[in-house]
Chains A and B, each alone.
Chain A
């Protein structure tokens, strides 16, 4: 870009002696680049270079204490041929899918209620802020607080037993896939609520009225009017939830009692054992998978149309 700009600048300078006007027009041409510069530089230094480093390291060799610059494919070979990798990906995708479905249902319902059933703007804002209250404490604390609640001798089990509903504590509540998905839903539901709520607030109420006048039932209004118009919000929320779950490691480790696997956990294990090249290869594959998922979602819903 700059290369093409330089000769034109030179020729215009030689053609016209009015240097003041030239300077202004040069400035006008360079200004967009200057404006985009800081962001481009930040992305280059903090995103592009680290990712390229990870890609480079993923081809290096290693032993139990050191890594050696090299170009080997063993990291990818060991990763892609190991049944554990496939099982772990399957497991992570399962967590992502379950969390997505549940947060979508909750998110859509909550957003629908806020947008269409709460009439006053004040109450809408108040209730919306109520939704964010859990976010006033840290992720980890919200997660850990489930452990004493769900445990074998935890609040829930003791409560159910003393109410006479069960006579044996329910073991599946904690350190299980159930616990993992529960924590994910708790942590990420708001990421679904916010964008869907945002989309719904932009829907022209006249459309809903028109549908009613046309004889549509409440369910038909939701299905044929609101849902299609809320799609961009759903897509953005889905991207949040899916990428967060795909990359998570601490929730899976804490809530499954270290007994379930996720890609993030696998990478964390490899890092802790100094197997950086293996971890890098794993990260590159994860990045590719997540990007494919995001692209697929954007293919289904064109979010630009609504932004």
Chain B
């Protein structure tokens, strides 16, 4: 990575990084000198030798459990980060039922709504989070810009804060105690095979277009799938929702009736549950239009198969995740966790995530770690001047390409709804299972 970007304005930053590491290696034994070097480079406090013995166990969904991050943590902070990747259901389950089995939970906001009230996690003191005031305002007050409307569903700011240090009650507005430090989020839409759909796709209703009979798919994780279904039904004009993220029983019934009828008519080729299933369905041509995640689209394209993450006129379904700290963490391990979270927001990971097509919570620091061309392509929706590389250095987009959906503002500014967990959750899940079994 360092080699490929030498010559970019970034190289200055990289060099200081290298010298800091060299410095650290030479002085690892002497904690005093190490603290000094931390002060010189402006990097978070360097802890005494014993922090190297700390191991933090992080678990979460596959999207952000990246080995590259664990390696970089070892390099920059000295301690070990163990990552476990599970699917969203399993994450929610483990977070509640085995709270001692992890130190850091990397969970989505809708999972947080389920998990935090169980009292298995502790909120974080925002005064210890260095870049807190630079976090994208979506996570603080729900608005990307002061004018924008708050989207429906479990919007991150509604479960982002609790009332006090030991509280498990979500606060109505920002407080000093944050449940999750946002790390990664994105706006989801339908993925299509432009070579096979044969016409422009503009609306969520196209998922149920009989023209694509036997060639559509939808995600089979109830709390996410129901949202995609709601976007479709609302776009069709068949169901009017008070709040798509918190449906009434009647709204759930109507939505799933429409989906069940479509299923019985043979609209769906398959349902998918994991990232790789969605990639395989799309690249094999079994499915030509489906709910999809942005890196899955990238994975299909990486095989040389056309795939578009199609912006739709009704807007996006957004999701976001963050890092939370387990209740049992204290002392040196807790300090290490704060250290890690501050490091997470300090730019390197942000740039890594942005380059994968996700968004990072603190944009300013991520920008420092990206080339102007990368920034313009990923965040501003401008045509790429040079080939756009993935974080691993593979070519993702050729020069001249434009990101599907355009700029950060165009995409995150058009969020219709966040992934959600509803009050009628249990009823919804039962009905969803009926739909799947129908």
- A residues touching B (Cβ–Cβ < 8 Å)? 63-66, 78, 82, 84, 87-88, 91, 147-148, 151-154, 171, 174-175, 253, 256-261, 266, 269, 271-275
Residues of A within 8 A of B214 (CB): 171
Give the chain B neighbours of A147 by CB distance below 8 A: 280
User: Counting chain B CB atoms within 10 Å of each CB, which of A65, A91, A154, A253 scores highest?
Assistant: A65
Q: Which residues of A contact B90 (CB under 8 A)?
A: 272
The residues of B that contact A175 with a CB separation of less than 8 Å are 269-270, 286
Known: A84-B434, A148-B284, A261-B436. Is A273-B429 also a contact (CB below 8 A)? yes
Q: Which of A82, A171, A258 contacts B273 (CB under 8 A)?
A: A258
The one of A152, A269, A271 that contacts B285, using a Cβ cutoff of 8 Å: A152
A148 to B285, CA, bound (A): 11
Nearest CB of B to A179, in Å: 11
Interface residues of B, dominant DSSP: helix
Could you list 8 A-B pairs, sorted by A, with CB under 8 Å? Answer: A84-B433, A91-B437, A152-B285, A174-B286, A257-B268, A257-B269, A259-B263, A266-B433
Contact A266 B437 (CB under 8 A): yes
Cβ B89 vs Cβ A66 within 8 A = no
Query: B436 touching A274 by the CB < 8 A rule?
Result: no
Which one of B114-122, B177-185, B245-253 contacts A? Answer: B114-122
B269 to nearest A CB, angstroms? 6
* B contact residues, total (Cβ < 8 Å): 36
Question: Which residues of B does A touch, CB under 8 Å?
Answer: 87, 89-90, 92-93, 96-97, 114-115, 117-118, 214, 217, 220, 222, 263, 268-273, 280-281, 284-286, 421, 425-426, 429-430, 433-434, 436-437
Identify which of B217, B220, B421 contacts A64 (C-beta below 8 A).
B421
Q: How far is the CA of A261 from the CA of B272 in the complex (A)?
A: 14
Q: Chain B contacts of A261 at CB under 8 A? A: 436-437
Which residues on B sit within 8 Å (CB–CB) of A87? 437
Identify the closest chain A residue to B434 (Cβ). A84
Q: Which residues of B contact A275 (CB under 8 A)?
A: 426, 429
Q: Which residues of B contact A63 (CB under 8 A)?
A: 426
- Rounded to whole angstroms, the CA-CA distance of A66 and B99 in the bound complex is 13
Question: CA separation between A275 and B433, bound complex, in Å?
Answer: 13
Bound-state CA distance A275–B271 (Å) is 22
> Which residues of the other chain, A, contact B117 by a CB distance below 8 angstroms?
65
C-alpha gap A280/B284 in the complex (Å):
38
Min C-beta distance of A86 to chain B, whole Å: 10
Docked CA distance A259–B273 (Å): 11
Find chain A residues with CB under 8 A from B89 CB. 272-273
Most buried by B among A84, A258, A261: A258
Q: Determine how close the nearest CB of chain B comes to the CB of A39; give it in whole angstroms.
A: 32
The reply to whether A153 and B285 form a contact with Cβ atoms under 8 Å apart is yes
**Other-chain contact of A88, B272, B284, B437 (Cβ < 8 Å):** B437
Residues of A contacting B273 with CB < 8 Å? Answer: 253, 258
CA distance A238 to B435 in the complex (A): 32
> Is the pair B271, A259 in contact by a Cβ cutoff of 8 Å?
yes
